[in-house]
Amino acid sequence: MQNRIITFIERLQQVTTLDQLQALVVGLSGLYQIEHFVYHSVNSAGEPYAALTYSVDWVDHYLDRDFGRIDPVVLGCYQRFHPVDWKQLDWSGKAAKSFMFEASDAGVGNQGYSIPIRGPNGQFALFTANHTCSDDDWVKFTDEHVQDLILIAHYLNQKALEIERGTDKLAYQNLSPRELDALTLIGMGKSRGHAAESLSISEHTLRVYIESARFKLGAANTTHAVALAMASGKIIV
């Protein structure tokens, strides 16, 4: 695990307020040397919360114009469960193109990578990394840091739930030794094949352990399960 994600986790553990969470998100820009990070959450009651690095003027303009209705990032990610590069989204419509030009004028970068998050009780959140650079440089950045970005997304969401909506937090069931072993090896970056071999079990059995751990943790996917297990001190990677 890279030093940057360790630094982030250490800082996150000190966060107790939403203002501190906002400061932590701002600090991510310096940690990863890109222009913008955005965490946005909407709970089952429709109440929004955001921690981000965009200018106040752009945020106010975005809200005043109700751009969430046409923003291809919001619309595209709400229909997805997996991370997506902005170039995979539909920017072809007239409204989307106009929005893109306004965003660019406001300092939003030409590259973006967004991670949808499905939380408990109908909660939806979105974590985005955004920057201005060439396509080649962006591919290099995302390839190198995709695991960090996914972990950060789920760590931030869990912390926001703890601070803002403690009643949304689920009581975790205890994980079995095999479930803990499976998550630990996956968290260390092992492939499922190598993890299964290390545990002297089949890949099918490994998947059973991982899916069982996901269910107990209330995780949206395997990476989320690893993040939750680490955040709660159940595993150390």
Q: Is the pTM of this model over 0.75?
A: no
**Could you tell me if 132 and 109 are in contact, meaning their C-beta atoms sit under 8 angstroms apart?**
yes
Q: What are phi and psi of 130, to 5 degrees?
A: -140, 140
From first to last of the 237 residues of the chain, give the pLDDT tens digit.
468 888 898 899 899 998 999 999 999 999 999 999 999 987 656 678 899 999 999 999 999 999 989 999 999 998 887 889 999 999 999 999 999 999 999 999 999 999 998 776 667 899 999 999 999 999 999 999 988 898 899 889 888 888 876 544 455 568 888 899 999 999 888 899 999 999 999 888 888 888 888 878 877 788 888 888 887 778 876
Domain range annotation of the chain:
3-167, 171-231
- Superfamily of segment(s) 3-167: Transcription factor LuxR-like, autoinducer-binding domain (3.30.450.80)
For position 166, what pLDDT does the model report?
Answer: 58
d(CA 169, CA 189): 27
**CATH number of 171-231: 3.30.70.560, 1.10.10.10, 3.10.20.30, 3.90.79.10?**
1.10.10.10
Angle at 234 between CA 209 and CA 153, to 5 degrees: 85
**Could you tell me if 223 and 81 are in contact, meaning their C-beta atoms sit under 8 angstroms apart?**
no
Q: What are phi and psi of 218, to 5 degrees?
A: 70, 35
d(CA 118, CA 126): 9
Element at 184 (helix H, strand E) = helix 177-187
Q: Other CB atoms closer than 10 Å to residue 210's CB: what's the count?
A: 22
For position 168, what pLDDT does the model report?
Answer: 46
For position 45, what pLDDT does the model report?
Answer: 62
Element at 73 (helix H, strand E) = helix 72-78
